Amino acid sequence: MKTIIEPFKIKSVEPIRFTTKEEREQILKNAFYNPFLIHADDVLIDLLTDSGTAAMSAKQWAGMMEGDEAYAGSRSYFRFEKTIRALTGFEHIIPTHQGRAAEKILFTITGGKGKYIPNNTHFDTTRANVEFTGAEAVDLPTEEGKKPELIADFKGNINIEGLRALIERVGAENIPLCMITVTNNSGGGQPVSMANIRETKKLLRRYNIPLFLDACRFAENAYFIKKREPGYADKSVREIAREMFSYADGCTMSAKKDALVNMGGFLALTDGALASKARNLLIVTEGFTTYGGLAGRDLEAIAQGLDEVLDEHYLTYRIRSVGYLGERLASARVPMVQPPGGHAIYLDAKRFADHIPPDRYPGQAIVCALYRVGGIRTVEIGSVMFGKYDSTGKLMSPPMELVRLAIPRRVYTQSHIDYVIEVVQEVYARRNELRGFRIVEEAPVLRHFTAKFEMK
CB of 216 to ligand F0G, least distance (A): 5
Closer to ligand F0G by Cβ: residue 44 or 102: 102
Q: Could you give the CA distance from residue 276 to residue 369 in angstroms, rounded to a whole number?
A: 49
Residues in the interface with ligand F0G (CB under 6 A) total: 15
**Nearest distance from residue 3's CB to ligand F0G, in Å?**
29
Looking at the Cβ atoms of 212 and 317, the one nearer to ligand F0G is 212
Task: Select the residue interacting with ligand F0G from 119, 181, 338, 397 (CB under 6 A).
Answer: 181
Q: Which stretch binds ligand F0G (CB under 6 A): 93-101, 282-290, 355-363, 370-378?
A: 93-101
Residue 185, interface with ligand F0G (CB under 6 A)?
yes
The reply on whether position 214 binds ligand F0G by CB under 6 A is yes
Measured at CB, which residue is nearest to ligand F0G? 99
Considering the complex, what minimum distance in angstroms separates the CB of residue 87 from ligand F0G? 18
Binding-site member from 44, 45, 216, 282 for ligand F0G (CB under 6 A)? 216
SS3 45: strand
One residue of 60, 83, 98, 397 binding ligand F0G per CB under 6 A: 98
Element (H, E) at 64: helix 58-66
Give the shortest CB-435-to-ligand F0G separation in angstroms.
26
Q: Closest approach of Cβ 455 to ligand F0G, in Å?
A: 25
2: which residues sit within 8 A by CB, 6+ positions away?
none
| Close Cβ partners of 407 (under 8 Å, ≥ 6 residues apart) | 47, 50, 321, 322, 325, 343, 344, 345, 417
Cα dihedral sign for 275, 277, 283, 288?
positive
**Amino acid identity for residue 159 in this structure:** N
34 is a contact residue toward ligand F0G (CB under 6 A): no
Binding mask 124-163 toward ligand F0G (x if CB under 6 A, else -) reads -xx-------------------------------------
Q: Which of 95, 191, 265, 296 binds ligand F0G (CB under 6 A)?
A: 265
Identify the residue among 24, 33, 34, 49 touching ligand F0G (CB under 6 A): 49
49 to 35, 77, 96, 156, 383: CA distances (angstroms)? 11, 27, 20, 19, 18
List alpha helices for 309-405, DSSP H.
312-331, 349-352, 362-374, 383-386
Dihedral of the CA atoms 223, 224, 228, 234 (nearest 10)? -10
Does 80 bind ligand F0G (CB under 6 A)? Our answer is no
254 sits near ligand F0G (criterion: CB under 6 A): yes
Residue type, 300: E
In sequence order, the 6+-apart residues with CB closer than 8 A to the CB of 379 are: 35, 36, 48, 49, 367, 385, 403, 404, 406, 448
* Buried/exposed 322-341: b ≥16 CB within 10 Å, e otherwise: bbbbbebbbeeebbbbbbbb
- Is the previous residue joined to 339 through a cis bond, with omega within 30 degrees of 0? yes
- 215 sits in the region (left: phi over 0; alpha: psi -120 to 50; else beta) called alpha
The one among 256, 297, 372, 410 contacting ligand F0G by CB under 6 A: 256
Question: From the list 35, 63, 95, 99, which residue makes contact with ligand F0G (rule: CB under 6 A)?
Answer: 99
* Nearest residue (CB) to ligand F0G, 167 versus 406: 406
Number of residues written out for the chain: 456
* Separation between Cα atoms, residue 305 and residue 314, nearest integer Å: 12
Query: Nearest distance from residue 122's CB to ligand F0G, in Å?
Result: 8
Q: Which of 24, 79, 92, 100 binds ligand F0G (CB under 6 A)?
A: 100
Min CB(285)–ligand F0G separation in Å: 14
226 counts as binding ligand F0G under rule CB under 6 A: no
Q: Which of residues 321-380 bind ligand F0G (CB under 6 A)?
A: none
Helices (H) and strands (E) in the chain, counts: 16, 16
Question: What is the binding site for ligand F0G (CB under 6 A)?
Answer: 49, 51, 98-100, 123, 125-126, 181, 185, 214, 216, 254, 256, 265
